[in-house]
C-alpha cells in the first residue's frame, strides 16, 4: 500500500531515509533502472569521461571502425591484452558501411571489448576511422572493394575531364 501511495504521490514525505528505502524497493519491483546500474558500477573517472566523450563524438561523426593504440612506456598501460590489441581494428556496430554490406567486423566490434581508459590502469586510445578506404583490406567485402573502385574511377574521370578542359 505504501508503494502504491508512493508511486502516485499521495503520501507526504516524512523521512528521506525511509523514502530512499521505499524508492529502492519500488525500483527492484520495476526492474533495475539505468541510473541504478550506473551507481552500482561507480561514477566514471575523468579518463573514462574523456573516453566516453571521444566515443560519442566519433559515433556522431560517422566513425565506422576504431584502431586500438596501445600506450606503453613510463606513464603507459601495462595490461598485456591491451598490448596485444595494438593496431587491431574493431568495427563500430551498425555503421553505414556495414549496413551497405561493404565491411565486416574483422577483429570484432568495439562494443565486445572493454574500451580504452575503461580500466583504471589503462592509457590506451582509439584512432577512429571514418572512410572505407582507411579500413584494413581484410575487413572490406567484395561489394565494398567494388564501391571503392567505382569511386576511384569516378574521381579519375573527373580529374581527366578537368585537365582536358584546362588544356583547351
Provide the binding-site residues for Zn ion, judged by CB under 5 A. 77, 79, 82, 122, 124
Which residues are paired to 91 by β-bridges?
65, 109
Q: How far is the CB of 47 from Zn ion (least distance, A)?
A: 10
Q: How far is the CB of 160 from Zn ion (least distance, A)?
A: 47
Q: Which is nearer to Zn ion, 58 or 77 (CB)?
A: 77
Q: Which is nearer to Zn ion, 22 or 83 (CB)?
A: 83
Q: The C-alpha cell of 150 is what? A: 567505382
Q: The C-alpha cell of 123 is what? A: 592509457
Q: How far is the CB of 76 from Zn ion (least distance, A)?
A: 8
- Cα(82)–Cα(79) distance, integer angstroms: 5
Which residues are paired to 69 by β-bridges?
125
Nearest CA among 92, 101, 102 for reference residue 149 = 102
Q: Which is nearer to Zn ion, 124 or 140 (CB)?
A: 124
Amino acid at each position: 500500500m505504501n508503494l502504491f501511495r508512493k508511486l502516485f504521490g499521495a503520501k507526504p514525505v516524512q523521512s528521506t531515509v525511509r523514502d530512499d528505502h521505499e524508492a529502492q524497493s519500488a525500483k527492484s519491483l520495476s526492474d533495475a533502472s539505468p541510473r541504478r546500474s550506473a551507481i552500482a558500477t561507480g561514477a566514471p573517472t575523468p579518463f573514462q569521461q574523456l573516453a566516453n566523450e571521444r566515443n560519442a563524438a566519433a559515433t556522431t561523426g560517422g566513425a565506422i571502425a576504431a584502431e586500438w593504440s596501445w600506450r606503453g612506456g613510463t606513464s603507459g598501460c601495462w595490461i598485456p591484452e591491451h598490448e596485444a590489441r595494438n593496431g587491431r581494428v574493431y568495427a563500430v556496430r551498425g555503421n553505414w558501411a556495414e549496413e551497405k554490406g561493404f565491411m565486416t567486423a574483422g577483429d570484432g566490434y568495439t562494443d565486445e571489448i572493454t574500451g580504452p581508459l575503461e580500466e583504471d590502469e589503462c592509457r590506451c586510445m582509439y584512432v577512429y576511422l571514418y572512410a572505407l578506404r582507411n579500413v584494413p583490406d581484410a575487413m572490406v567485402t567484395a561489394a565494398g572493394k567494388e564501391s571503392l573502385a567505382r569511386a576511384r574511377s569516378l574521381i579519375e574521370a573527373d580529374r581527366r575531364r578537368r585537365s582536358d578542359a584546362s588544356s583547351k
